Amino acid sequence: MTRYRFLGLLALLWAGAASGATPAENLNRLLSGFESLSADFEQLVLDSSETRLQESRGQVSLQRPGRFRWRTEAPFPQLLVSDGEQLWLYDEDLEQVTQQSLDQRLTNTPALLLSGDLSALDNAFDIQGPAEGESGVFSLRPRDDSAQFVVMRLYLEAGVPREMQLEDSLGQKTSLLFDNVELNPPLSAEVFTFEVPPGVDLIVE
């Protein structure tokens, strides 16, 4: 999928979105269409002039409520795992694991937008986008001033998440492109558990 291709659809989708529902209700409906998700991803980091600063690839598995496994394969192997209560970040190069309680705020961990409590969406964000239909771009601006980004854009195609983009206050963008997306795959509890490998340092925050 071409990077930011969906942004060109924005005006058309919003213009045809006149209905009784709100964008927040439509997004909640679409995300409620699945309880789990697995996908490959490509992550691009761009500066304010659209210059590519970093590129990485990996796999992600998500399951409500609040469970996710985010594995980056290249160029630096890293693993982020949550069981809904605890969060582990394993940096293989540093041979170090950081463990902390999961911050349940949707604005703190982007993975929680897809795996968290959907009833909190409208309270956490000012949401713009199509008020009906299965496809479109949703723009979510955090109501919390301490959020790590100023806007998140989520593109869904036929109800399937295809791209998530986060933009910070300096205009730097992190774009996540999803491929081979599977909705509602059977995922065992072991996917979202983590054991510290032998010889690896554990830091508890």
Between 99 and 4, residue with greater pLDDT: 99
Distance between CA 99 and CA 28 in Å, rounded?
30
SS3 97: strand
Asked if 81 and 67 count as a contact pair (C-beta separation under 8 A), the reply is: no
pTM recorded for the entire structure? 0.83
When the pLDDT of each residue in the chain is averaged and rounded to a whole number, the result is: 88
CATH code of the domain occupying 5-204: 2.50.20.10
Asked if 79 and 93 count as a contact pair (C-beta separation under 8 A), the reply is: no
Asked if 175 and 44 count as a contact pair (C-beta separation under 8 A), the reply is: yes
The predicted-structure confidence for 51-63, as pLDDT tens digits, reads as follows 999 999 999 999 9
The predicted-structure confidence for 109-132, as pLDDT tens digits, reads as follows 778 888 877 888 888 899 999 999
Q: How far is CA 36 from CA 110, 160, 183, in A?
A: 15, 12, 6
For tokens 């691009």, name the residue: 44
pLDDT band at 19 (very low <50, low <70, confident <90, very high): low
pLDDT band at 103 (very low <50, low <70, confident <90, very high): confident
Residue extents of the structural domains in the chain: 5-204
Tell whether the model's pLDDT for residue 14 goes beyond 80: no
The predicted-structure confidence for 127-162, as pLDDT tens digits, reads as follows 999 999 999 999 999 998 888 899 999 999 999 999
Q: Is 177 exposed, middle or buried (0-12, 13-18, 19+ CB in 10 A)?
A: buried
Tell whether the model's pLDDT for residue 16 goes beyond 60: no
Which of 61-65, 89-93, 96-100, 144-148 shows the lowest mean pLDDT across its residues? 144-148
For residue 186, what is the DSSP state? -
